[in-house]
Structure 1
């Protein structure tokens, strides 16, 4: 029996969430409808993939683990094949996903620079750039919507490779009327004691660096839960006084009038990454990752006033 790729995509979402109800919400399905899709997929594969647990939790069977490892590249390749059928085969087309709204970070000028560098590396290529909600960065790769995704931490998925791009400093963000909204540095330990906004629906490995989890344990933090699909959502929450936040230092020059950047003392830098599907070794994809690394390095050097050849 042929595989239903929609069922495969639903299975990968379930693997990503480890919970039927949460995966169903992200798929805009009921839990029962998602369960039926998984049952249909198991019938198509001919073996049980999921051990259903109490309270909607799940564990993959050994067969489910093996299938999940191969299903991501399978789904992505199907998407590539569909696009190839519709596009001019003489022109490469690669899709770059960036977290949040398009143009927040990297800026539109930096995206144009990435396109120019890419064209120097691969002449016959077309690049399209897309803003991706924070919650969808991994699935945008797995289901073939994007070929490369810019991320602020390595993607923790067996079917995705994460290539380091550049290290950046973090900056604190406070409302314009806050006592720290002045040109004086603040110790990271003091900043970490304040209420800090975060989104509990996002992976902890990604969120931890933004609520300063590397400065003090999360259990000691005063975290204010918000729903943040884009950077602008985070900044708006800070501006209205919900809590403080940290952002990449280069992003601070684009703050609105209701916010102020705070230099943090003692906070280690973080790294940005280019995530791509593990088996996607096409020339334009590898060239795009190189273009991202080049422009990211230039951008950080400019923001820090470092001469760069």
Structure 2
């Protein structure tokens, strides 16, 4: 009897959990319906296409299809690694990503900290609107603005002329491309990215500010000892996500800003894959490059997450 009772306990618990789950779904069915659309999107556009990754290990033939093409193993990866384009492209991608991360990551934090200290409601909302607006400008329009502004006869060229200096063609210098990309990207997304930090700042206990005020703390000291520790979890999570995405330089912006003069400094993995895969119809080779990029990004995500978990109490998992 004891054996039968011990065996029936897990079954009862299992059925109890199922009943509880049914009640939760029935109670919050609206939320589950809202979740259905993004889950369907992720399933169709993120997981189903993973079957096509095998093209990287095959000599893809359009007539034979994915499943009928000949298996070649790591041949395309070896071809890419031994190509003279590998190191320049990989270096450009890494440099642009790291410089962009260097500018883009602290800028929203600093902006959120200063916005949090503004007490004039109208001025605060005006600053937020001005800094949020560039995020909603399309990439094509943004690149057009950058090209017009940085052209030798553009606004920057006119400023140099007025200062008695010779205009500089910034978009024609390969070494300057990475800084142009990073600074314009920071200007475009800094305000919008600060929203998450403003939300984290809003959740800090007001009593901490009152205690700091009683102790005579300045605004800068409140930022350092209250605000920054309060938003530390959000900072760590965003840093992990940003590091995992470090090699995914925006294709549209990079491609639209490219020209023959800055190509040695602007050719990145994303644009190279487009040119090799779509323009030259070398699908297997371009897929192999994309898989390599994804593996490096995933590895960096794992390493940074483990490092963050080791030195702090915050991580993705």
The structure with the largest strand share of the pair is 1
Give the number of the structure whose alpha-carbon radius of gyration is greater: 2
Q: For the superposition of Structure 1 and Structure 2, which TM-score range results when normalised by the shorter chain?
A: under 0.3
What TM-score do the two structures reach when normalised by structure 2?
0.23
Higher relative contact order (CA 8 A, sep 6+): 2
What TM-score do the two structures reach when normalised by structure 1?
0.23
The structure with the largest helix share of the pair is 2
